[in-house]
Amino acid sequence: MKKIKIFDTTLRDGEQSPGCSMSLEEKVKFAKQLEKLNVDIIEAGFAASSEKDLKAIQEISKNIEKPIITSLARCNKDDIDKAYKSLIFAKKKRIHVFIATSKVHMKDKLHMSEEEVLMKVRSMVKYAKSLCEDIEFSLEDATRTDKEFMVKVITIAIESGANVINIPDTVGYIVPNEYRNIINYIKNNVPNINNVELSTHCHNDLGLAVANTLSGIEEGITQVECTVNGIGERAGNAALEEIVMALNVRNDYYNVKTDINIKEIINSSKMLVDITGSLVQRNKPIVGENAFKHEAGIHQHGIIQNKNTYEIIDASALGVNEDNIVIGIHSGKHAIIKKMKNMNINFDINNIDMYVSEIKKYLEDHKTINDDVFSQIISKSKIKKRS
């Protein structure tokens, strides 16, 4: 079964999310958690952005044994030198070089012609390769890049020593079928494409980052770039937990694997929230508070009989062992019976309709009910029935 490598960029692209900056100690702590999660590559930062970032990458490198540590660099010598310096303590190191290739970026940001960009790619990838054996090359804004020009850029990058070619949807513009077509075009038109690994890096501006990433995997990509909780610039990046669990649950369809330790997914999510203060929405897939909870009576009745009726993921496989039945305004008698049994409350099954009625009366004015209140209402119902 083909393996999909997980390239985590929470500490680089994720940290660029407004309000999500981390101290050196927090970065090291989270990098250690990523190692527990068993990601393949950790993008530890952008060394040229600040001396603080450079030192953080060095410190992460000292503390991490198994994953490849990568440092981002623009296509210039100073950036690449700083990236290399930041990786001096890394057991496994990679320099990740990038340059923008779309017309709007080349014209209005870089002020460079296509020929100038091609020359820069050739010289700077070669230079990076002279320092480090493992080189990844990214075409910033690849999905808005002219396809013929993209082929020229990738061909030169591979000739110059790139081991991995990354195709970023930098502004979250593309849709899944288009992304597949781009990957297919690259595979069919770049003559030396079989010499490298292909990677995705998708942003979520249209809510399609995970879908685009999965479409890339369908087209043969073997590395995906993502972040825990999907944090990142603007609307964020493809969420690691969603990609991994989609491949896990639908293994029958994708027929690929990752080496992610799924029992550490929830721990990683919670740690990131604690460090950054960036909360996860309650209905966020996989890691949201409501991801494995049921309030509707029909759903509750179903999962009490057989969890497979309404759950496609075994929550316990992710380390979630709490009760997934939530007593709310939409709950029915089956859930309330289960709740009373779980709480070891003695009750008369013949009075169940009264218990349900009293619980729902309370919930008309309250969104939730805790165990103490639940128990009190059942007790009062018993007294009321006797009187």
Residues facing residue 45 across a β-bridge: 71
Query: pTM here?
Result: 0.87
User: Residue 385's pLDDT is what?
Assistant: 62
Does 61 have pLDDT greater than 70?
Answer: yes
| Mean of pLDDT over the chain | 92
Split at pLDDT 50, 70, 90, the class of 383 is low
Q: In this predicted model, what pLDDT tens digit does every residue of 249-263 receive, in sequence order? A: 999 999 999 999 999
User: Residue 350's pLDDT is what?
Assistant: 86
2-276, superfamily in CATH? Aldolase class I (3.20.20.70)
Hey, what amino acid is at 257?
Answer: K
Q: Where are the domains of the chain?
A: 2-276, 297-386
Q: In this predicted model, what pLDDT tens digit does every residue of 148-207 receive, in sequence order? A: 999 999 999 999 999 999 999 999 999 999 999 999 999 999 999 999 999 999 999 999
Does 26 have pLDDT greater than 80?
Answer: yes
User: Residue 29's pLDDT is what?
Assistant: 98
CA distance 284 to 278: 13
Q: What are phi and psi of 364, to 5 degrees?
A: -65, -30
